[in-house]
Amino acid sequence: MTQENTNQTAGPERLDFIRQIVADDCKTGKWDGRVLTRFPPEPNGYLHIGHAKSICLNFGIAAEFGGRCNLRFDDTNPCKEEQEYVDSIIHDVRWLGWEFGEKTLFGSDYFEQMYLWAVDLIQKGKAYVCDLTAEETRQYRGTLTQPGKDSPFRNRSVEENLDLFSRMRAGEFGDGTRTLKAKIDMAHPNINMRDPVMYRILHAAHHRTGDDWCIYPMYDWAHGLEDSIEGITHSICTLEFENHRPLYDWFLDALGIYHPQQIEFARLNLTYTVMSKRKLLRLVQDKFVRGWDDPRMPTLGGLRRRGYSPEAIRSFCKIISVNKFNSTVDFALLEHCLREDLNRTSPRVMAVLRPLKVVLTNYPDDQVEWMEAVNNPEDPAAGTRNVPFSKVLYIEQDDFMEEPPKKFFRLAPGREVRLRYAYFIRCDEVIKDADGNIVELRCTYDPATRGGDAPDGRKVKATLHWVADAHALDAEVRLYDHLFTKEDPEAVEEGKDFTDHLNTDSLQTLTGCKIEPSLKDTAPLDRCQFERMGYFCTDPDSTANKLVFNRTATLKDTWAKIQKKEKSS
């Protein structure tokens, strides 16, 4: 999807409150009809599904209203930022399907202009150099119920401030010895307005500006300036910045420069996962997962490797919409959107994950027949393929029971079932090893039932998937479950940490799985449905000699079930 007008909101759908503001502004000509949004990640980690909400909102609005959206790195903190993150973020935004032109923007490109504006505020008597330590600054700030105290350095002369600030920049002072603060109001009811720090001294190399700077702007100071420089119209951010909006406005008004409108919305929270970059980093560093793109991670890289499609994620973001109240979205809704997309688009193949050998005693030893199989019943254009059928086959261990309970309709001794696209087979004999484990079934097939029903009209109650030993591919299959056992792993619990709720069974690796030969040339991230077993994708670890698949999702749509229940009650 590019930024042309896709008009996703046409029709009876109601606009969310942000789109309503944008629509009204376009009508009144507030920004001369311009719409320019931005997505401003800090390059200190990988993007996750929460960021996708913000990306789809900002890029989506730009596309729908004929505007543009900037990808801008908010890289004002040299310590935690790296080029690796910049590259991955660009890749992820493009993968989600959004275009931002040739140029990515960086907050650090504006450092010189920010510095000049800081000098301007000093000259206007609205900023001062303060020698309080970080700890003293905290004490002077007061609390929610108590006003703060003026810093003893608050009334330095403009000349002294200009001199000290230029010497801060020149590197004369040590880290943390001085700050530049805005002179607002130490008794302000909003703590963010109590002379907030604008610059701190930090002798640290920056991933783009190197050693050019030893003073770095604070987020609140930098962010509005970045928006202003770019001519952003709607600066959309998450709710925790609502209390910072007065400061955003104060800086831009004090400077008298172009002033975008900040609008806040509730961030996305999902059940059974954590979203803070700090916690995700911890999962990676402490090796609870294999990396940022571990298929269990809520990062876009993890979801991609798991087999999520960008379409599914965009559709999820559209459905959850935006509002002003913090809430937690059920992971099952994300999976529901995923299944809706994969059901439409995934080619079907047959794979047996836990094989049980079946020998057809009445089938010719060396015969191989090629059976026509439908690639995607949801998409006639996907056509058909041929799968081999032979005397030795595999079915799922779960599809056979020696002593079936009442509701088990699949294969059992003496019982007949259909093998999909092939024949009816009947189980005649169960072969066990010395320990009593079932290792093989001896069955007979009915040649008259090829690809259809029995001519005599007899019925079977189950159709099983299977893979013929002839031409079968061996594979490793990785099954995933939620990373956490608790819906809200971040809920604070006495003496516990979110890692205490990690699901120790979140990864199960199956080897010796049997796959039909049509997947011989599968490439990393190819998606398919293993009939009856779920949606899968080829893992990047997969090679021609060793195929590896990830289970993206099972077929069971718990969300659709919940909805059905709610409707009927």
Residues with catalytic roles: 42, 267, 277
Tell me the window of 158-166, 267-275, 338-346, 450-458 that interacts with ligand ATP (CB under 6 A): 267-275
| CB-nearer residue toward ligand ATP: 9 or 238 | 238
* Position 275 contacts ligand ATP (CB under 6 A): yes
CA-CA distance, 377 to 165, in Å (whole number)? 70
* Position 490 contacts ligand ATP (CB under 6 A): no
* Position 318 contacts ligand ATP (CB under 6 A): no
* Position 307 contacts ligand ATP (CB under 6 A): no
CA-CA distance, 61 to 255, in Å (whole number)? 29
Residues 6+ apart with CB under 8 A from 315: 337, 340, 341
**In contact, 274 and 281? CB cutoff 8 Å:** no
Site for ligand ATP in 19-78 (CB under 6 A): 40-42, 50-51, 53-54
* Position 355 contacts ligand ATP (CB under 6 A): no
| CB-nearer residue toward ligand ATP: 49 or 342 | 49
3-state secondary structure 89-142: HHHHHHHCCCCCCCCCEEHHHHHHHHHHHHHHHHHCCCEEEECCCHHHHHHHHC
* Position 277 contacts ligand ATP (CB under 6 A): yes
* Position 83 contacts ligand ATP (CB under 6 A): no
| CB-nearer residue toward ligand ATP: 119 or 275 | 275
CA-CA distance, 360 to 419, in Å (whole number)? 12
* Position 268 contacts ligand ATP (CB under 6 A): yes
| CB-nearer residue toward ligand ATP: 242 or 541 | 242
| CB-nearer residue toward ligand ATP: 268 or 422 | 268
In the chain, helix, strand, coil percent, each to 5? Answer: 30, 25, 45
Residues 6+ apart with CB under 8 A from 242: 264
CA-CA distance, 419 to 263, in Å (whole number)? 58
Tell me the window of 106-114, 120-128, 207-215, 273-281 that interacts with ligand ATP (CB under 6 A): 273-281
Dihedral sign (CA 379, 383, 386, 389): positive
Q: What value, to the nearest 5°, has the Cα angle with vertex 64 and ends 73 and 11? A: 145
Other Cβ atoms closer than 10 A to 234? 25
CA-CA distance, 520 to 465, in Å (whole number)? 18
Q: Of these, 267, 318, 385, 471, which contacts ligand ATP (CB under 6 A)? A: 267
Residue type for position 29: G
| CB-nearer residue toward ligand ATP: 53 or 169 | 53
* Position 276 contacts ligand ATP (CB under 6 A): yes
Least gap, CB of 303 to ligand ATP (angstroms): 14
Tokens linked to 403? 């002593």
* Position 443 contacts ligand ATP (CB under 6 A): no
CA-CA distance, 331 to 313, in Å (whole number)? 12
Least gap, CB of 197 to ligand ATP (angstroms): 18
Residues 6+ apart with CB under 8 A from 459: none
| Residue with the shortest CB distance to ligand ATP | 50
Q: How many chain residues touch ligand ATP (CB under 6 A)?
A: 14
Tell me the window of 16-24, 275-283, 483-491, 534-542 that interacts with ligand ATP (CB under 6 A): 275-283
Nearest in space to 443 (alpha carbons), one of 367, 359, 368, 357: 359
* Position 191 contacts ligand ATP (CB under 6 A): no
Least gap, CB of 281 to ligand ATP (angstroms): 9
Q: Of these, 104, 209, 238, 444, which contacts ligand ATP (CB under 6 A)? A: 238
* Position 244 contacts ligand ATP (CB under 6 A): no
In the chain, the largest separation of any two C-alpha atoms, in whole Å, equals: 103
| CB-nearer residue toward ligand ATP: 54 or 542 | 54
* Position 310 contacts ligand ATP (CB under 6 A): no
| CB-nearer residue toward ligand ATP: 277 or 391 | 277
Q: Give the interface with ligand ATP as residue ranges (CB under 6 A).
A: 40-42, 50-51, 53-54, 237-238, 267-268, 275-277
